[in-house]
Structure 1
C-alpha cells in the first residue's frame, strides 16, 4: 500500500496540484491548505482543517482505512504537537489507529511508538528549521517506509521501520 501526505501548503495551489497528481492508494492533506472546502483541486484528497484555514466545512479530524491500516489525521494544533506527542499518542490508542498523520510544525519527521506510526510530512511551501519544503510518501507491506520528498520529487530522507505487520 502507498499513501501520499502533505501539509501546510498555505494557499499554494501549484504544490497541492503536483503532489496530488502522484499515484497512491490515498492522498492526505493535514491542513492549512488555505483553500476552499469545495476547491476542485481537493477532489479525492482526505483533508482536515488547520489553524489558518477559514473554511469551517473542513473536518477537524479524519479516520480512513487504507488496506489493513486505520489512519487518523489531524492538523495538530489542537493536540499541542509542537511541544509533545503525548496527546496524539493517547488519542491514537483510544481510536485504535495504526498510523497518525499531522502537520502544524512545518517540520518533517516519523516515529514509531508502541506499534503506531506517527508522520508529519513537513510543509510544502514554508518549512522550518532550515529544512526544504517536503511531503511524505508512506509505503507498507511487512515494513513501513517513509520517504520525505522535496518539490522536485527527490527523496530528502528515507525512514524504514521493519517488522510492523500486526505489531499491536
Structure 2
C-alpha cells in the first residue's frame, strides 16, 4: 500500500498535481490541513480515498479538526497541529498521541518535514508543498509504504 502525505498547500495546487503525477498510483492521499478551499480539487485529483482535516487557515471549511482512522494495523491520528504548539516542537503532540493510544500522528503547520520514530510512536509532518520553511526550502511530501508484512516505512521527498 502506497500513501501520499501532504500539507500546507494553501490553495496553490500546482505542486500537488505534479507530485500526484510523479508518484502515481497511490492507494490513499492524506492532507494535514491548510487547504484553503481546494478540498474538491485535492479529492478529485487523487483518484483514491482521501483523508483531510482543517488547518488554521481553513476558515470556511466543513472538514473535521481531527480524525482517527486505521491504515493496515496502525491507528492514525490526523490533525493540523497548531492546537498542540507544534511550532515549538513536537513533544506536546507526541504526548497527546500516546494518551490517545495511536501508533502514528500526522500533522502539518510548521512547513518543515519530519519523520520522528520514538519507541512505538511515529510522528510525521510532510512539510509544505507550497511554502517550505526548512533549510534549502524545497517543497516536500512524505510517502508511506506498507510492505508485504504490513510494516510501515516513511520517506521524505522533495520536488
TM-superposition CA deviations, 1:39-80 (whole Å, max 9, x none): 243243211101111223111111111111111111011100
What SS does the aligned partner of 2:76 have? strand
For the aligned residues, what is the CA RMSD? 1.9
2:56 aligns to what?
A: 51
Report the TM-score when normalising by structure 1.
0.80
Runs of 5+ consecutive residues of structure 1 not aligned to the other structure: 152-168
CA drift of 1:138 comes to 1.2
2:108 aligns to what?
A: 103
Q: Is the 8 A contact 1:36 1:55 kept in 2?
A: no
Distance in 2 of aligned mates of 1:93 and 1:24: 28
The answer to whether structure 1 residue 82 and structure 2 residue 90 are counterparts is no
Distance in 2 of aligned mates of 1:147 and 1:50: 23
CA gap 1:25/1:96 in 2 versus in 1, 3 angstroms: farther
Distance in 2 of aligned mates of 1:61 and 1:24: 22
* Matching of residues 131-142 of structure 1 within 5 Å: 131-141=137-147
CA drift of 1:96 comes to 1.5
| Greater relative CO (CA pairs within 8 A, separation 6+) | 2
Distance in 2 of aligned mates of 1:53 and 1:20: 22
CA drift of 1:18 comes to 3.7
The structure richer in helix per residue is 2
Report the TM-score when normalising by structure 2.
0.84
1:42 aligns to what?
A: 43
Moved more, 137-146 or 55-64: 137-146
